[in-house]
């Protein structure tokens, strides 16, 4: 596992700004080599706040939105226009100032495009096959879950599949689609986001190596960065910062 780098910010708003600024700098560096950058987005309140910041700053940067491949870590298996979809929430925040290439934007299949979550996962896995995610954003759940992978749930069991269908999810909606843990851990960099006192216990359990949390098993190949606000870091005995 790659070593954890911890970036501790005072508030969720400052954390979201830091995530956006860090993304811009990292994407600029990767694109400077002429690469198409494979970026995997997540859902959640703080992630959406980061996308709002990203939309405001990207125009002043050297980031080429057309040279980004956008993917998602997980998705509600609901109709395309359902407001619960992570991709809809993210793209509605980015679209105004972030001219993304439709051909390089890959939302997970919806319930009006696939028969069930398993079929949607198979389709998404086929699309993602042969690619390596450069930066994978993930939110931390209160029970230590990531994407739609929950502790003691069959979807989190070891698999060679790129993506998995989730049924009977402990967190609504009942049906979801998720990247597998193996796929997440093949990402060059994983960026974990955690804010609020309700996440403090999950953060502490993860850093203690509590194997019952999914988050304790997550690691990027080259780098694993944790963006944590003060409330979520409240139960950590220490933290380190990289500026």
Instruction: Report pLDDT for 77.
Output: 98
The DSSP symbol for 73 reads: S
Nearest by Cα to 123 from 77, 154, 155, 88: 77
- pLDDT tens figures, 135-153: 999 999 999 999 999 999 9
The parent domain of residue 175 ranges over 4-229
Residues contacting 82, CB < 8 A, separation 6+: 76, 88, 110
Please check whether residue 63 is in contact with residue 161, taking contact to mean a CB–CB distance below 8 angstroms: no
Residue 236 inside a domain? The answer is: no
Range 67-98 burial, b when 16+ CB lie within 10 A, else e = ebbbbbbbbbbbeeeeeebbbbbbbebbeeeb
* Total of domains in the chain: 1
What is the phi-psi region of residue 209: left when phi exceeds 0, alpha when psi lies from -120 to 50, beta otherwise? Answer: left
Is 152 within a domain?
Answer: yes
pLDDT per residue as tens digits for the range 78-100? 999 999 999 999 999 998 888 89
Residue 143 included in any domain: yes
Question: How sure is the predictor about 238, in pLDDT bands with cuts at 50, 70 and 90?
Answer: low
Q: How many CB atoms lie within 10 A of CB 163?
A: 31
| 243 located within any domain | no
- Is beta strand 223-229 parallel, antiparallel or unpaired with respect to 4-9? parallel
3-state secondary structure 203-235: HHHHHCCCCCCCHHHCCCCCEEEEEEECCCCCC
Classify residue 126: in a domain, yes or no: yes
* pLDDT attached to residue 157: 95
Mean pLDDT estimate for the chain: 95
9, part of any domain: yes
Q: Looking at residue 208, which CATH number applies to its domain?
A: 3.40.50.1360
Is 128 part of any domain? yes
């Amino acid at each position: 596992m790659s070593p954890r780098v911890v970036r501790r910010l005072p508030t969720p708003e400052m954390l979201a700004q830091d995530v956006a600024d860090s993304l811009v700098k990292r994407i600029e560096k990767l694109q400077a080599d002429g690469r198409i950058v494979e970026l995997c987005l997540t859902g959640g309140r703080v992630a959406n706040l980061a996308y709002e910041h990203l939309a405001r700053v990207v125009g002043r940067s050297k980031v080429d939105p057309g040279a980004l491949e956008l993917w998602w870590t997980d998705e509600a298996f609901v109709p395309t226009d359902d407001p619960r979809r992570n991709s809809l929430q993210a793209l509605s925040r980015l679209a105004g100032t972030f001219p993304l290439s439709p051909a390089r934007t890959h939302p997970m299949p919806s319930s009006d495009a696939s028969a069930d979550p398993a079929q949607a996962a198979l389709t998404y896995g086929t699309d993602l096959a042969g690619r390596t995610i450069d930066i994978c954003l993930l939110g931390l759940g209160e029970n230590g879950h990531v994407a739609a992978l929950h502790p003691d749930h069959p979807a989190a069991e070891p698999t060679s599949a790129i993506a998995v269908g989730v049924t009977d999810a402990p967190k609504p909606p009942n049906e979801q689609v998720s990247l597998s843990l193996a796929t997440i851990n093949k990402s060059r960099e994983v960026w974990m986001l955690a804010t609020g006192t309700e996440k403090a216990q999950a953060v502490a359990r993860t850093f203690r190596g509590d194997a019952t949390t999914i988050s304790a098993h997550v690691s990027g190949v080259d780098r694993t960065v944790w963006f944590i606000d003060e409330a979520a870091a409240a139960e950590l005995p220490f933290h380190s910062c990289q500026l």
